[in-house]
Amino acid sequence: MARKLTEVASKLAAKPAPKRPVVYIVDFENIPKTDVAALLRKEQVIMVVLAANSTNTVTPSTLETIEANPERVDVIIGRITRKEFVDKLVTAKIGEYAFRFPEAEIIVLANDKDYADLANHLNDHWERAVPIKHIAPAKSRAKRAPRAAKDGSARKPKAATRHQPKTAAKLQPERAPNAKTAAKPKAKAAAKPKARPANTTPITNPDAEAVRALLANLPERRLPKSEAALLNAVRNYRESVGLRSRPSTIVKHLSECGIIDTSKSPVHYVL
């Protein structure tokens, strides 16, 4: 009888502990290239939380992943662009999910180093310890290494020859002693600015009107160049401003009113 109980006890001791469900909380403001699909494929992952600001954009494939998994992806957009505001959203989500899923392990993906200390501090004050891990993605550090490790002589002359003509062209008018030559750049600068064509077409959709107003306030160089980028921008506007129409509906309405032409590359705007 004693032998049988010993065998049972040894089997119970050797039995692996049940795996905890996992919640990923991502500081998407600093890590915008996070592979959301890869996180969802990981074992035991029940939720991926993305904390971002109103200017963050995503690739079309990431957007499809988010829209296809509404029950497993939580997106929170910081409507205030103040420094470290998104960090506060990450902290709030740590507390929320620690108590929504008491048995879950929380993994914070962020470049900031304070989340590990924050986890220890929270566990000192909460009634129960919450398994919180902080992981700084290796990709960000790997990108810095080649920049720091320069080969010296082989790369420096190339950088100098690339930028030298542009610098010389900018400084040349200032060095010219002749007043006539100095006046020529000013005349060109006065004739160069070009105004965007105004569009007076009335828009019946208030959400589309709000998006047109937001796009009209952007510098021309910051306007989305492709239809996918435009949809991402409208999605961010929708989250930050509180629009009700779908991004595709807003873009379609703007196209029908002649405000944008997505058939052209880059997208043509008449704001």
Last residue of a domain, one of 93, 112, 141: 141
> Residue 238: which domain range?
206-269
Considering the domain boundaries, does residue 10 fall inside one? no
Residue 44 CA to residue 23 CA, distance in Å, equals: 9
Buried b (16+ CB within 10 A) or exposed e, 180-198: eeeeeeeeeeeeeeeeeee
Considering the domain boundaries, does residue 39 fall inside one? yes
Domain count along the chain: 2
Mean pLDDT by 10 residues, the chain (271 residues): 64 67 91 91 93 87 92 88 82 88 88 78 71 69 49 50 42 41 49 51 77 86 88 81 83 88 89 80
Angle at the Cα of 99 (from 36 to 22), degrees rounded to 5?
Answer: 35
Last residue of a domain, one of 99, 114, 141: 141
Predicted local confidence at residue 42, as pLDDT: 92
Last residue of a domain, one of 90, 114, 141: 141
Considering the domain boundaries, does residue 137 fall inside one? yes
Considering the domain boundaries, does residue 165 fall inside one? no
Considering the domain boundaries, does residue 210 fall inside one? yes
Question: pTM for this structure?
Answer: 0.45
Neighbour count for residue 33 (Cβ, 10 Å): 11
Considering the domain boundaries, does residue 261 fall inside one? yes
Angle at the Cα of 160 (from 155 to 163), degrees rounded to 5?
Answer: 125
Residues 133 and 220 in one domain: no
Residue 119 belongs to a domain with what CATH number?
A: 3.40.50
Residues 36 and 126 in one domain: yes
Residues 137 and 220 in one domain: no
Give the β-pairing of 22-27 and 73-78.
unpaired
